[in-house]
Amino acid sequence: EATLDLAERRRIRSAIRELQRQELEQDEETLASKRFRPERSSHRHSNKENWPQSQRLEEEQQAALAALSEQLEAITSVEELTKLLRAAGEYEERKLIRAAIRKLRAEEIEGEAPFPCSR
């Protein structure tokens, strides 16, 4: 219906805006609930099935890092360690090699420093 009353038109427009606002809020709530939905139970089961395998891989990696650490202690050349560093692929390996290089350089600096004279 067409109305000539301006006040009534304002009330109608205001009611329409309010309905649109409520609809937008409902849409936002729906989106938020979809974004933060908890994991599906089937996904959790697959993680449980893969857990022993990932645990085994982590243990193997720890053993390999321990072996590398022992190997690095035997190396006394910064150049050799630098070559190993460039060839290393894993972050943890590079981290151990850099620590060994720092240790060797610190020992070299200590060896070059003059000893304090005892009086």
Note down the domain range covering 70.
58-113
CA distances from 5 to 8, 10, 11, 31 (A): 5, 9, 10, 39
User: Does 102 map to a domain?
Assistant: yes
User: Does 86 map to a domain?
Assistant: yes
Q: Give residue 67's pLDDT.
A: 85
User: Does 105 map to a domain?
Assistant: yes
pLDDT over 90 for what percent of the chain? Answer: 11
Q: Give residue 49's pLDDT.
A: 65
User: Does 81 map to a domain?
Assistant: yes
User: Does 90 map to a domain?
Assistant: yes
The domain tally of the chain equals 1
Chain segment 39-50, per-residue pLDDT in tens:
555 555 555 666
What are the b/e assignments for 75-99, b being 16+ CB within 10 Å?
A: beeeeebeebbeebeeeebeebbee
User: Does 70 map to a domain?
Assistant: yes
User: Does 71 map to a domain?
Assistant: yes
Burial of 65 (0-12, 13-18, 19+ CB in 10 A): middle
Q: Who wins on pLDDT, 35 or 20?
A: 20
Query: Full-prediction pTM beyond 0.75?
Result: no
User: Does 23 map to a domain?
Assistant: no
Chain segment 49-72, per-residue pLDDT in tens:
667 777 888 888 888 888 888 888
